[in-house]
Amino acid sequence: MATQVVMPKLSPTMEEGQLSRWLKKEGDKVSMGEPLAEIDTDKATMEMQSLANGVLLKILVNEGDSAPLGDPIAIVGAEGEDISELLGAKKSAKEEAPAAKPKTEEAEEKEPEPKKAEATSKPSGPPKEEEPKPVTTPSRDDGRQLISPIAARMAAEAGINLKSLQGSGPGGRIVKRDVEEAVSGKVERIPTAPRLRAVPARPLEKGEVYPPSAYRDEPASEMRRTIAKRLVTSLGPVPHFFLTTEIDMERAADLRGAINELYPDAKISINDVIIKVAAAALIQHPQVNASFQDKNIRYYEHADIGVAVATENGLITPVVRSADLKSMPEIGAEVRELAERARARKLKPEEYMGATFSISNLGMFGIDEFTAVINPPEGAILAIGSAAPKPVVHDGQIVIRQTMRVTMSCDHRVVDGAIGAKFLQTFKQIMENPLYLFLSQ
């Protein structure tokens, strides 16, 4: 008997999924437990497995399109089985309740979106020739390219010429893996300078003004929409306050250099040192290693530290579990591995959820100081600026020292001003004298 395949819940915070790639095509045999498709959730790209044996009779959601949880996305049944009743039921449900499960992303083929993807590498302006009418079938023979939204966004950010790609998706559609291969250097890149501003075709006459800027709309990724929702539930309801201090980084830099000299494969970064020191300070100040739980305040025994990682779709915070029990080489290796899989959207939910404290470091971008938004239900987050040489008073003399400014955002429901200040005091003391780490073990 034919059954509907519905959009599954692949992460705890997922509300809808985007079909990244079908691993089977219509007419293919499928077995229970066999990967059927790749789904882009709010945090990662995950495989969806078939829950039945049979044949993939009908694909209801195309690659690049989104569907809410529980919506039918395909039909599996016996070869040649009549599925008109299931198709009719799906259509009737949409007609009767058109607003019950609104889509947040329109199907790419409903409008000539592929042309918009090409526009990312060209100045906006009047078309040189008449656009052909869009079609809605998976394949085209009019010379236009089919491009998934994710592939279009990746290509635009990497400066990849979409015309130089050969799509490997259905009907020659350019999908994410095609752009990933292009990024590795196999195809030409487009100069990015022309994208900065459209140049007028002629000088402006006296009294003329520039017209409103041309623009393009791209569907927001599942991750970006989730980030937007979480920020709204953080900065508004959570009462933030901020504490800033400046830290002498000379001894921390010396420690990092000494460890890397003794253990060249460790490749310790300053951020690894910061994670270890923050974990040690959290154990000394358990009131900061806590979260507000409506009627309770939850105190954690170990420091599970979320480390903010920038990806193509937004920010994600892989978690270093029990960082207080791990050495700096262990932390460094784990952070590198987690960050690599985060950018590849291969993290499991348990690897990016449940941190007790977070660290966001923008120092590598030359940012001196900033404030970060707390990631609920955590009680605090530490914002790390760049370490740079600066004239300071040291031992009664003005000398040049490496200094770094850090700002802690605190949830005032959990962390009072004095508690936050004592935590930062301990963090600063250990960073400026990292031997404390070894004396306390």
Q: Does residue 139 fall inside a structural domain?
A: yes
Q: Does residue 201 fall inside a structural domain?
A: no
Q: How many domains does the chain have?
A: 3
Give pLDDT, residue 198.
44
**CA–centroid distance for 422 within its chain:** 33
Kindly name the residue from 240, 285, 302, 412 that is annotated as catalytic: 412
Same domain flag for 410 and 324: yes
Same domain flag for 295 and 392: yes
Give pLDDT, residue 209.
64
Same domain flag for 245 and 345: yes
In the three-class reduction of DSSP (H, G, I as helix; E, B as strand; rest coil), residue 350 is classed as helix
385 exposure class (CB count in 10 Å sphere: 0-12, 13-18, 19+): buried
Q: Does residue 102 fall inside a structural domain?
A: no
Same domain flag for 173 and 302: no
Same domain flag for 239 and 307: yes
Contact 130, 144 (CB under 8 A): no
Tokens encoding 256? 């990092």
Round to whole Å and give the CA distance between 363 and 369.
8
Same domain flag for 85 and 118: no
Round to whole Å and give the CA distance between 215 and 416.
46
Q: Is residue 302 flagged as an active site residue?
A: no
Give pLDDT, residue 107.
40
143 exposure class (CB count in 10 Å sphere: 0-12, 13-18, 19+): exposed
Q: Does residue 210 fall inside a structural domain?
A: no
Q: Does residue 217 fall inside a structural domain?
A: no
Q: Does residue 103 fall inside a structural domain?
A: no
The DSSP result for 376-418, as a single string, is TTBSEEEEEEEEEEEEEEETTEEEEEEEEEEEEEEETTT--HH
Same domain flag for 385 and 425: yes
CATH at 143? 4.10.320.10
174: β partners: 147
Give pLDDT, residue 220.
67
* Domain ranges, residue 59: 3-96
Q: Does residue 215 fall inside a structural domain?
A: no
Give pLDDT, residue 145.
62
Same domain flag for 90 and 114: no
Q: What angle do CA 11, 12, 18 make, to 5 degrees?
A: 40
Residue 56: phi, psi to the nearest 5?
-75, 100
Over the chain (441 residues), the average pLDDT of each successive run of 10 is 86 80 90 88 80 90 87 90 78 44 39 40 43 41 59 71 75 77 63 44 68 67 68 74 95 93 90 96 95 88 93 86 93 94 87 93 93 92 94 90 96 92 97 86 54
Same domain flag for 388 and 308: yes
Same domain flag for 391 and 250: yes
